[in-house]
Structure 1
């Protein structure tokens, strides 16, 4: 692999790992593959790949369960991650990292792998996650946006699920998507059709970066203490976890009798919705990590679980914040028609009675929200802050 001092290349990389068979089990790296790509020409300049022998060979499932051919025998004589750590570090450190779903999976595994051998992990100059990028720019016209689906869409063949082949396929998929978008941008204005496509893109822009609960790699969830002010600290969940939950059932709408107000005298608004089992798994994992960190930090506050389990079905509270110091909602609120069309609702003031007519008990919505740990006035928990809510029409 070429050593480059200015490190201008994109480092496309991919990992093949073991598949966890039970809760709490970590993925273990079995193969690392990377290519260095010129950002000006997208020409591959160099490549590197190797199988990786885990400390425990029994963590690898038997051959019939692995379609890519990686098994105990094929990795038995391969180097360990510690053996290849220098090469991996040199490939990745100081370069722009690129890959498909690397922010949700591969980046965290690289960090953990270096931590396990007691070495500092490489740091990127920037990251390009093609999953998030294509969801934003290309939309879901190709389907579920998995690499094998995208490859099939463009007639590029099957995904091999081998690291080096997959990163090269990733690059070809990006080239095809970019070509389609470039050609579309050269077309004349197509009136209503063009407007409809732009509206769809706007809706995708506001939802990009959000993961559905089953897309979250739970072992990668972590938290740390970060400075707040005057020497104090706050808990921050790593990887800026943002979630998307579709078709959530509203259990309780806006509380019209709320006595809670913010610094500017605006009512604190929230709704309560049922939480799916997958969402509960993610939030419980976040809860467990953040609450332990809260105790370790010396906080005396009472930790309140984010999942509410006092009803016959687990539920969560979604907060609808106001925007800065003005009296409008920071949350984007849409109404979804039976046809599937989403229309953004425009509000000129904070009006809880107006919202209560929209968020009715028993109705359904799509929720996009962030996770915000807090410790305030002897109470600590994780606040779910609604970024976008899509109310389904009856």
Structure 2
């Protein structure tokens, strides 16, 4: 089985409204990286100042970079048939799926989220952000918030997860029927399993325990799960998935 460990940098947080500025892909065979690819991308739009402050990527750096459609085929060929691995995988996957679709390529990959895997295999950490998780596990992280640096650190993290997965967490998450494929990375699968197929009221909380959504349903499990299904990378859904804990 081959994995594509991916990190991207973007002009903002929503796939349908923002562009990609950098892509890094490490092909991993389950033991080591066998191939690496990275490229800057000219998104054809202004780079917000806060993005430049975060990543160091500015418009001058991207002036001579290829447009996404110029590298879309190469990116698609690297990802096609691989398991797509990323930290907060739905973010990276939604961007690449959306922009590949605009270029005429239909990306369909099984996904693994290193946030969700880490919560199961390395429980009890104070934070599961990439930077803090790397500090806790003594993973070198260079060029933070640049695609290649983050992809390399995520690849090392993925190695550790494979080595320490003594309970078969990763194979379970890879099952096509696994509902963990669509759950927000910070939501425990057990919370969904415990829901009854009965009428009731439900709510979602953010990381601080604040209630951010209240709903009612005739079938609690079916209705709650429906919030996380669907492939359209719209802004509201992406915000929702990132917020829920």
TM over 0.5: yes
- Does residue 1:28 correspond to 2:11, yes or no? no
- Does residue 1:211 correspond to 2:188, yes or no? no
The counterpart of 2:157, out of the listed 173, 183, 193, is 173
Q: How far apart are 1:53 and its partner, in Å?
A: 0.2
Distance 2:204 2:33 in 1: 48
Q: Determine the structure 2 residue equivalent to 1:270.
A: 200
Distance 1:63 1:274 in 2: 29
Q: How far apart are 1:273 and its partner, in Å?
A: 5.6
Q: Determine the structure 2 residue equivalent to 1:378.
A: none
Q: 1:145 to 1:46 in 2, by over 3 A?
A: same
Q: Determine the structure 1 residue equivalent to 2:121.
A: 137
Q: Determine the structure 2 residue equivalent to 1:256.
A: none
Distance 1:110 1:25 in 2: 11
Q: How far apart are 1:167 and its partner, in Å?
A: 1.4
Distance 1:271 1:371 in 2: 15
Whether the 8 Å contact between 2:140 and 2:153 is mirrored in structure 1 is no
Q: 1:82 to 1:90 in 2, by over 3 A?
A: same
Deviates more, 1:143-152 or 1:72-81: 143-152
Distance 2:51 2:84 in 1: 33
Q: How far apart are 1:177 and its partner, in Å?
A: 4.4
Whether the 8 Å contact between 1:132 and 1:208 is mirrored in structure 2 is no
Q: Please tell me whether Structure 1 or Structure 2 has the larger radius of gyration of its CA atoms.
A: 1
Distance 2:199 2:50 in 1: 54
Q: Determine the structure 1 residue equivalent to 2:108.
A: 123
Q: 1:278 to 1:164 in 2, by over 3 A?
A: farther
Which protein has greater RCO, CA pairs closer than 8 Å, 6+ apart?
2
The counterpart of 1:14, out of the listed 7, 31, 34, is 7
The counterpart of 2:93, out of the listed 95, 103, 107, is 107
Whether the 8 Å contact between 1:110 and 1:121 is mirrored in structure 2 is no
Greater per-residue helix proportion: 2
Q: Determine the structure 2 residue equivalent to 1:363.
A: none
Distance 2:78 2:180 in 1: 32
Q: 1:149 to 1:208 in 2, by over 3 A?
A: farther
Q: 1:208 to 1:146 in 2, by over 3 A?
A: farther
Q: How far apart are 1:25 and its partner, in Å?
A: 7.4
Q: Deviations over 1:100-120 (max 9, x none)?
A: 111x21111112102223x02
Whether the 8 Å contact between 1:97 and 1:127 is mirrored in structure 2 is yes
Q: 1:268 to 1:98 in 2, by over 3 A?
A: closer
Tell me, what secondary structure is at the counterpart of 1:166?
helix
Q: How far apart are 1:138 and its partner, in Å?
A: 2.2
Distance 1:274 1:170 in 2: 29
TM-score by length of 2: 0.69
Q: Determine the structure 2 residue equivalent to 1:317.
A: 216
Q: Determine the structure 1 residue equivalent to 2:73.
A: 86
Which structure 2 residue ranges, 5 or more long, are not aligned? 168-178, 192-196, 229-245
Distance 2:102 2:184 in 1: 27
Whether the 8 Å contact between 1:142 and 1:149 is mirrored in structure 2 is no
Q: How far apart are 1:19 and its partner, in Å?
A: 2.4
The counterpart of 2:56, out of the listed 48, 69, 77, is 69
Q: 1:44 to 1:178 in 2, by over 3 A?
A: closer
The counterpart of 1:147, out of the listed 119, 124, 130, is 130
Greater per-residue strand proportion: 1
TM-score by length of 1: 0.45
Which structure 1 residue ranges, 5 or more long, are not aligned? 1-7, 186-205, 217-241, 245-266, 281-314, 322-329, 332-367, 374-394
The counterpart of 1:369, out of the listed 207, 224, 229, is 224
Q: 1:45 to 1:101 in 2, by over 3 A?
A: same
Q: Deviations over 1:361-388 (max 9, x none)?
A: xxxxxxx932269xxxxxxxxxxxxxxx
